[in-house]
Amino acid sequence: MTPINALSAIKPAGSATSDTSGRQQFQQQARPGQTLTATVLEPAGNNRFYLDILGQKILAQSDRVSLSSGTRLDLEVISTKPLLELKIISKNPELFFGKTLTLLGKNIDISGLFQSIKTGTPPLFTQLSPSSQQGVKEFNDFQQTVVGDKDGGPHLKGLLDRLGLTLEALLAGGNKTPAAQSLKAALLEIASLVKGGGELADATNRLLGTLELYQLAQLRLSSENLLMFPLPLPFLDNGYLLVEKDDSSKDDTTDTDTLRFSLHLSLEPLGNIEIIFLQLEEGLYIRFACESKTKKDFANSHSDTLKEMISSTEVLGLSFTDTSGNPTNDLIQQLVPHGKSMLDTKI
C-alpha cells in the first residue's frame, strides 16, 4: 500500500482555531487502524498536496504518488507519532492493491533488467532455464527492433504473445512450451533466484506486478464487453489499446461492420493522448484528445499529413480536443465499480 504523511493541519477560512492547535487536535483524535475518506484539494509542490479530511485542510506529502485535484481517497491511519502517517486503501481488495497500482504508470521496458542479468558475476542469465533464456532474450530483441509501418501489426502481436498474459491459461490447457518461453515465466524464475532483495529483485517484482495488473484489467474489462491490450513499446511512457468486443451473437441488430477502439498513450514530448476510432463500412472517424490546447493545436496542424498516411480507408471525420486524461487514471476509472472511489496515481 502507498503511505502518505500528514505534515500539518490548517483549519478552513473563518475558523478561530490556529494551525498548530488544529494539527494537534486532529493528530490526537486519530487512531491507528482508523479509516476515513479524503479529497485532494490542490498540489503544493515538492510532492506535497492539500487534503480535505473531516473538514480540515491537511498538508500531506508522498514521494511515491502524484495526486490530482478532486481525487477522492480511502485512507487508513498507520501511525500518529512522530507524524500522522496514512495509507491509501481500497474498498475492493479483489481488484486493487496498492503495490501494483503504483506500477501501472511505467511502461514495460526490460532493457535495463536484461542488461543486468547478462553482466553480473556470474551472469544470472546463465542460471536460467533454456526456455526462460529464450523467452527474455526474444522479448528484449523484439522490443529493441525498429520496424516499418507494414511490419507494425505483426511486430506488436509478437510482443503481446511473448508477454505471458495468458501464462496460466496456457498451462491449464497443457501448452507448456509457449508458457515457459514467455516473459512472465522468465521473470518468475528470476524472482526465485534473487530473493535476497536489491535493485534487480525490485525491478523484477515491479515488472511482475505490472503484468499481473494488466491480467487483472483484462479479466475485469471482459465483463464490460471490452478487450484491453498493453502496448509494451519502448518509446511510450505508457500505453494500451481498448477494443469494443463484437457482441453480434447476442443482438441480431448489431452492425457487424462497425468497430470501436481507442488508444490511450503517454509519450514525450506530446504527453497524454487519447485517440478514439469509429470504423464503419464507408470509412473511419477519428478523434484526437490532447492534454492541452497548445498540444491540440500542434496535432491539428498535422491533420493533412495524417489523412495522407491513412490509405486503407477513407477518413470521414477528424477532430481534435484538449480533453485527454492520464492513461493510468483512465484505466483505473474503467476498473472501479460505479460509486466507488479510487486513487488517481502515476509514478
pLDDT of residue 20: 44
Lowest mean pLDDT among 161-165, 197-201, 252-256: 252-256
DSSP-derived secondary structure for 150-216: TTHHHHHHHHHHHH-TTHHHHHHTT-HHHHHTSHHHHHHHHHHH-TT-SHHHHHHHHHHHHHHHHHH
Return the SS3 of 142.
helix
Is the whole model's pTM more than 0.85, yes or no? no
Instruction: Give the long-range contacts of residues 217-226, CB within 8 A, separation 24 or more.
Output: 217/331, 217/334, 217/335, 218/165, 220/95, 220/334, 220/335, 221/334, 221/335, 224/334, 226/334
pLDDT tens, residue by residue, 273-322: 999 999 998 899 999 999 899 999 999 999 999 888 888 888 999 999 99
Lowest mean pLDDT among 27-31, 149-153, 217-221: 27-31
Residue 266 near residue 272 (C-beta atoms within 8 A): yes
Pairing of strands 48-53, 56-61: antiparallel
Lowest mean pLDDT among 44-58, 92-106, 321-335: 92-106
**Amino acid in position 67:** L
Q: Per-residue pLDDT for 340 more than 60?
A: no
Q: Could you identify the residue written with the cell 518461453?
A: 181
pLDDT of residue 15: 33
pLDDT of residue 136: 94
The vertex-288 CA angle with 316 and 258, nearest 5°, equals 45
Average confidence score pLDDT of the chain? 77
What does the alpha-carbon distance between residue 257 and residue 37 come to, in Å, rounded to a whole number? 46
What does the alpha-carbon distance between residue 77 and residue 81 come to, in Å, rounded to a whole number? 11
pLDDT of residue 82: 59
Q: Which residues of the chain does CATH 2.40.50 include?
A: 2-89
Q: Per-residue pLDDT for 8 more than 60?
A: no
Residue 345 near residue 66 (C-beta atoms within 8 A): yes
Residue with the larger pLDDT of the pair 247 and 315 = 315
Other CB atoms within a 10 A radius of the CB of residue 279 amount to 16
pLDDT of residue 312: 81
Residue 106 near residue 210 (C-beta atoms within 8 A): yes
What does the alpha-carbon distance between residue 294 and residue 183 come to, in Å, rounded to a whole number? 39
Looking at the DSSP bridge assignments, the partners of residue 84 are: 6
CATH code reported for the domain at 2-89:
2.40.50
Query: How many angstroms separate the first and last alpha carbons of the chain?
Result: 14
